[in-house]
Structures are given as C-alpha cells and as structure tokens.
C-alpha cells in the first residue's frame, strides 16, 4: 500500500533519515478473546466497526502498517501516545510476590524486576523511530482527527519539528503544559542546583483545520469567583446580571474555560500514593489526564488509538467514556496489565480481542541478555555502539543467545577491532553454545596475538540457566454439566532464580505457592487456536491470593477445558484437561 506524502517542508535532518513510501500487512495471530462470541481471525475494519475493541502485542510500526492495510485508514478520530522520551533512563516494573511485605533480594535489585522497555536511544535512531510511526499515525487519522504526543523537555523541540513536517506546521494547535507540581511541590525539592522540573509537554496537532473535533472543556468556578459574581438570588437560585438585562444562573455556568496550562490534574505519584488507579507500572499516567483529552477531541462514536499503551490508561478511560479503542504495545507485560485492568472495570468491557502481530515477543531475547549480563557481572555501557560492556578489564560482546556461536560472529568482532587500531583490551564473548572447532581455533590464534585476545565463555559450560518453563499441577474433576478446577501447585524456576531461592528451600521461603501467581484465566471450550476468557480470577489487592479452586459450567459435555496461569513475572502457562 502506498503512503501519501507528508504535509510540511522538511525542517530537521538526521543520519539515516528516510520516509515511508509503502507499507505491508503483517500476520496477526489471535491470542485471547474476552466477552466476544465467534471472534474474527483477522483484525479488519469491517470486523471491528460493530464489534469488540482491539489490543495488539508487537512492534507498533508493524501493527500500524497492518491497520492501514486492513481498512483503518482515515478511521481514527483521536490518537494519544506517551512514547519513550530518549531520556537515557531504564524503566522497570518492580514485581514482588503476593502477600510479601519483606523485600526479597534478586540478582542486582531488592525485588525481582522486569524490563518494561529500555529508554535508550541514539539521537538519529530515535528520530527515525518516531518519524516512521508518526507518518503511519497520520495516515490512520480521519479528517476529524487529532494527535496528542506526550513528551518532556529532552526531545520535545525535535519532535515538534518532525510533527510540523508530517502534519504541516499550520496544523499545530497548541503545546499543553501539564503542571505536575502546582498542587504540591514538596516532592520535588530534592532536585538541587537547578530549577525544579515539574511539567509534562503534550504536543497537540490536528489533521484538518476545518473539521477536527474539539469539545471545549471547563474547570469548575472557585469559591472566590462565585462569591464575587453570583450575589443575587431569586426563586431559581443564584444569578448574576449579564449584558442586556439577562440573568446567568450559577447552575447553568459551565465553568472556567481551560487554557493550555493544566494545573488541576495531580501527577501520578500523588494518585498512586493515595492508593487509587496504580497498577504498578512505570510511566503510568492518571486517568484524569486522559479523560480530559478524550472528552475534548473525540465523540461517543469515535475510535481512540494508543500505540504505546503501557499500563492501559487510555483503553480504560476510553472504555469508561463509551469510545471504541485500539491499543498496542511491544511489551508482553503491558498487554497483560491492560487486559487485567480492563477485566476489573465495572461493568465489564464491551469485548476485547488480543492479537499478536508477526508473532514477535520482545521480552524473550531481551530477558536472556539481561539475565546473562547480571550473572556474569558485566558492566553495561549505554553509549557503546558494538560491544555490550566490560568485564574484568575486557570488552564484552554478547552473541545472539538463541543460536550457537559461529565463525561469522568471530569475524564480525575482528572486523570491528580493525576500526579500533588503538584498542588494546582483550574481548570476552558470551554465547549459548558454539559450532565445533571454534574454541580450538581461537586458542591457537590467541597464542600468536599479543593483544585483543578473544576469550569465549559458553553459558552452557558455565552452568548459567537463562530460562526454564514453569511447572503447574492442575486437577480437573467433572460432575455432570460442571467441572471443578483445582491448582494444587505451581513453581516458576524463573521466579526462584530472580529471588535467589533454592528449590529445595521453596516451602521454607514461600508459605503459599499462590504468592507466585498474578491471575488465573479459564476457557471452558478451548479450541487450541486461541484462548477464550470465560472466567477470570484477578485479585483486586496485591496482597490477595487467587482462589486456586473454581467450579464452572460447561457449554456441552465434550467441551475441552483449559486454564491459563500468569505469574508475577508475566510468564504464561496453559494447562488443558
């Protein structure tokens, strides 16, 4: 499919800048369904317009491309995104076992942690990353559509220039300043030797200046305004006299029109501290922020899109406001958090179809590398372009851990060293197995090489375990039209490794195996093609356990029952009857 040209004149250049001319559809695999009968295998617009909401797991560039090809071009009225800010920070979701107040030591952290996404970008790479995705989002927006891009001071100036190119600078509406400290600045006073940074930046663009949706928003009048202006009273209530003798009653006063400086929405730190909304996800935004944006720039028949959905706030608020929504995220933990959050809404959501696009699981490769880095004590270097860090005075290169080390991998390292004539350090290569003969060949070369010796450390030989599947003991007992499901035991070797717990001491360290389980989902008619969530056990409090025993009715005597257990690290285990 062809992409229409951007609207504005290029104003920003970077190494490797290239526009998108065409897009391709990528395979979409239906993974889960919730409150949906006969779910569509393909996420097309025709299937969506009168059906359930859509949640996608995968690279959002591929997902946005697929949406375009599947008929969603010009169909989205509102896009809100809160992408990585190129700030150089690592965002992690801290994960503790249920009903555990005491912190358990993990590898390098006080509790087990999952990397949600690593916000590390080289400037050129980040700009190209955002440029491509903004072009795709522009194609998806309707003529009534708007895009709100949440950013910070790190890259907001670059992003505005890119938005000017994609949308045309005449379609810039405003830059909203979210004052996160106007209500309570005490938490920011630790930022010494600089002006306190307490704002968020939201760039607001429209697609068509003549048609875009904007519903003016108001803030309630404060008491001083009411006392000053509404002094008179008759049988209809307080009023003030307007021009030409008209009376304006307080009950009809919409309030003070909002400006582009928002001081009345608490930062999420305060919302979380108050014990509301928080789902334990980094960079989570308060629902009040999304409520304002969605009400202002969409109508009840609108479709809202968030392709960096994170904790699911956009989807949850859109659901509450009666909007259709599409949400995507690269991280599996974000998808699980969003599904769990939506299942807890009163009333239950309209229906959700969860697809995986291109069968891409970000965490697998990243998780392996993270574990190996921690096990060996590699000091990582964010600015390194080729090597991954240092170890005992050597440069470290971690080879793709999903395949064995090959001679081509070694040659690539040698080629890199040719570009570094002043480099004298030896090289430590970490790999997961190797082709025959590599170790012997390198030992021979190292005897003849005074510097840049290449030392291979095989995680298999060193006994480093990167992953082992969880083990679950689940019993099924049928009684006429019902089945009773009992989870007898569950052990995640990954959790044990993260918590540094010896398996033989499991019962001493963890009183109840359910402390490892985040939620339980049940499909009473499992086809093997996708998981239809019929029953779910999602504890409301972090200290609560799942029930562990469930009696559910069967749609027919020969129906196949399946249970999906999701643990506190996001690992999914499906057990069938």
More confident call, 19 vs 519: 519
Q: Indicate whether 136 and 64 sit together in one domain.
A: yes
Confidence of residue 274 (pLDDT cuts 50, 70, 90): low
Question: 202 forms bridges with which residues in the sheet?
Answer: 150, 176
468-484: average pLDDT: 93
CATH number at residue 557: 2.60.40
Q: Assess whether pLDDT exceeds 60 at residue 92.
A: no
Q: Indicate whether 351 and 377 sit together in one domain.
A: no
Domain that holds residue 542: 471-576
Site of tokens 């372009």: 385
CA dihedral 452, 458, 464, 466 (to 10 degrees): 100
Q: Indicate whether 418 and 521 sit together in one domain.
A: no
The 3-state DSSP class for residue 114 equals strand
To the nearest 5 percent, what fractions of the chain are helix, strand and coil?
30, 30, 45
**Looking at the domain assignment, is residue 132 inside a domain?**
yes
**Looking at the domain assignment, is residue 307 inside a domain?**
yes
Q: Indicate whether 392 and 349 sit together in one domain.
A: no
Q: Indicate whether 184 and 76 sit together in one domain.
A: yes
CA 156 – CA 162 distance, rounded (Å): 10
CA 191 – CA 194 distance, rounded (Å): 7
The secondary structure element, H or E, covering residue 376 is helix 362-376
- Structure-token pair, residue 285: 């935004």
Confidence of residue 330 (pLDDT cuts 50, 70, 90): confident
- The pLDDT, as a whole number, for residue 181 is 73
61-80: average pLDDT: 96
CB 554, CB 561: distance < 8 Å: yes
Q: Indicate whether 167 and 204 sit together in one domain.
A: yes
The 3-state DSSP class for residue 550 equals strand
Q: Indicate whether 322 and 299 sit together in one domain.
A: yes
Q: Phi first, then psi: what are they for 521, rounded to 5°?
A: -120, 145
- The pLDDT, as a whole number, for residue 111 is 38
Of 458, 491, 510, which residue constitutes the final position of a domain? 458
CATH number at residue 140: 3.40.50.150
CA 12 – CA 164 distance, rounded (Å): 10
Q: Indicate whether 429 and 373 sit together in one domain.
A: yes
**Looking at the domain assignment, is residue 106 inside a domain?**
no
Q: Indicate whether 58 and 146 sit together in one domain.
A: yes
Lowest mean pLDDT among 52-66, 84-98, 173-187, 332-346: 84-98
Question: 206 forms bridges with which residues in the sheet?
Answer: 146
Q: Provide the number of structural domains found in the chain.
A: 4
Which residues are within 8 A (CB) of 275 and not within 5 positions of it... i.e. 6 or more apart?
Answer: none
**Looking at the domain assignment, is residue 320 inside a domain?**
yes
- The pLDDT, as a whole number, for residue 67 is 97
The secondary structure element, H or E, covering residue 532 is strand 531-533
Site of tokens 């107040």: 101
- In tens, the pLDDT along 163-211 reads 999 999 999 999 999 998 755 544 555 555 777 778 889 999 999 999 9
CB 262, CB 178: distance < 8 Å: yes
Confidence of residue 112 (pLDDT cuts 50, 70, 90): very low
- The pLDDT, as a whole number, for residue 275 is 60
Lowest mean pLDDT among 65-79, 144-158, 501-515, 563-577: 501-515
- The pLDDT, as a whole number, for residue 108 is 36
Highest mean pLDDT among 4-18, 163-177, 276-290, 320-334: 163-177
* Bridging pattern class, strands 247-249 and 53-57: unpaired
- Helix axes of 123-140 and 60-67: crossing angle, nearest 10 degrees: 20
- The pLDDT, as a whole number, for residue 269 is 64
CA 301 – CA 426 distance, rounded (Å): 62
Question: Taking Cα atoms as reference points, which of 307, 305, 270 lies closest to residue 286?
Answer: 270
19-24: average pLDDT: 87
CA 279 – CA 244 distance, rounded (Å): 53
Q: Indicate whether 538 and 411 sit together in one domain.
A: no
Residue 156 CB-density burial (10 A; 0-12 exposed, 13-18 middle, 19+ buried): middle
**Looking at the domain assignment, is residue 481 inside a domain?**
yes
Q: Phi first, then psi: what are they for 202, rounded to 5°?
A: -130, 110
CA 515 – CA 136 distance, rounded (Å): 42
Mean pLDDT estimate for the chain: 87
Q: Assess whether pLDDT exceeds 50 at residue 75.
A: yes
Q: Assess whether pLDDT exceeds 70 at residue 465.
A: no
Confidence of residue 216 (pLDDT cuts 50, 70, 90): very high
> Residues 516-537, buried b or exposed e (16+ Cβ, 10 A)?
bbbbbbbbbebeeebbbbbebb
* Bridging pattern class, strands 427-431 and 379-380: unpaired
Which residues are within 8 A (CB) of 405 and not within 5 positions of it... i.e. 6 or more apart?
Answer: 399, 429, 431, 432, 433, 434, 435, 438, 456, 458
How is 379-395 classified by DSSP, letter by letter?
EE-TT-SS--EEETTEE
**Looking at the domain assignment, is residue 275 inside a domain?**
no
Contacts by 193-196, CB closer than 8 A, 24 or more apart: none
Q: Indicate whether 239 and 171 sit together in one domain.
A: no
């Amino acid at each position: 499919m062809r992409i229409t040209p951007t609207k504005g004149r290029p104003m920003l250049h970077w190494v490797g800048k290239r526009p998108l001319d065409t897009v391709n559809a990528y395979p979409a695999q239906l993974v889960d369904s919730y409150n949906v009968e006969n779910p569509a295998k393909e996420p097309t617009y025709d299937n969506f317009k009168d059906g359930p909401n859509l949640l996608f797991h995968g690279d959002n560039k591929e997902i946005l491309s697929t949406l375009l090809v599947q008929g969603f071009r010009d169909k989205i009225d509102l896009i809100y995104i809160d992408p990585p800010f190129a700030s150089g920070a690592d965002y992690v979701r801290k994960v503790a076992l249920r009903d555990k107040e005491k912190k358990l030591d993990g590898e390098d952290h006080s509790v087990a942690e999952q990397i949600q996404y690593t916000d590390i970008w080289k400037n050129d790479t980040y700009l190209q990353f955002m440029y491509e995705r903004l072009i795709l989002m522009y194609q998806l927006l309707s003529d009534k559509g708007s895009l709100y891009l949440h950013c910070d001071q790190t890259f907001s100036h670059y992003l505005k220039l890119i938005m000017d190119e994609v949308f045309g600078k005449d379609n810039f509406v405003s830059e909203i300043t979210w004052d996160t400290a106007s209500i309570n600045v005490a938490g920011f006073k630790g930022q010494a030797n600089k002006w306190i940074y307490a704002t968020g930046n939201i760039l607001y663009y429209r697609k068509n200046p003549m048609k875009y949706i904007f519903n003016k928003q108001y803030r309630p009048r404060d008491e001083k305004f009411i006392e000053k202006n509404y002094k008179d009273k008759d049988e209809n209530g307080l009023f003030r006299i307007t021009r030409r003798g008209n009376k304006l009653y307080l009950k009809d006063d919409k309030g003070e029109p909002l400006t582009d400086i928002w001081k009345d929405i608490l930062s999420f730190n305060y919302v979380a501290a108050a014990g509301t909304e928080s789902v334990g996800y980094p960079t989570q935004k308060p629902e009040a922020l999304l409520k304002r944006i969605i009400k202002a720039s969409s109508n009840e028949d609108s479709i809202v899109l968030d392709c960096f959905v994170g904790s699911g706030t956009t989807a949850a608020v859109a659901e509450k406001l009666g909007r259709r929504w599409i949400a995507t995220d690269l991280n599996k933990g974000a998808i699980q958090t969003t599904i769990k959050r939506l299942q807890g809404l009163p009333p239950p959501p309209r229906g959700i179809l969860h697809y995986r696009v291109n069968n891409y699981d970000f965490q697998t490769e990243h998780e392996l590398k993270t574990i190996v880095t921690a096990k060996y004590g590699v000091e990582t270097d964010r600015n390194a372009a080729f090597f991954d860090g240092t170890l005992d005075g050597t440069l470290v290169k971690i080879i793709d851990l999903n395949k064995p080390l090959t001679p081509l991998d070694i040659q690539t390292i040698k080629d890199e060293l040719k570009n570094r004539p002043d480099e004298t350090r030896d090289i430590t290569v970490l790999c997961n197995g190797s082709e025959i003969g590599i170790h012997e060949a390198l030992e021979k070369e190292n005897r003849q090489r005074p510097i840049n010796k290449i030392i291979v450390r095989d995680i298999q030989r060193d006994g480093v375990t990167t992953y082992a599947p969880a083990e679950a003991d689940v019993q099924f007992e049928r009684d006429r039209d019902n089945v009773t499901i009992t989870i007898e035991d569950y052990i995640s070797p990954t959790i044990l490794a993260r918590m540094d717990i010896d398996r033989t001491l499991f019962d001493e360290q963890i009183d109840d195996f359910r402390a490892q389980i985040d939620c339980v989902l049940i499909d009473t008619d499992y086809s093997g093609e996708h998981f239809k969530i019929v029953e779910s056990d999602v504890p409301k409090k972090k200290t609560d356990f799942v029930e562990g025993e469930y009696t559910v009715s069967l749609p027919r005597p020969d129906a196949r029952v399946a249970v999906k257990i999701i643990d506190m690290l996001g690992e999914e285990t499906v057990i069938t009857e």
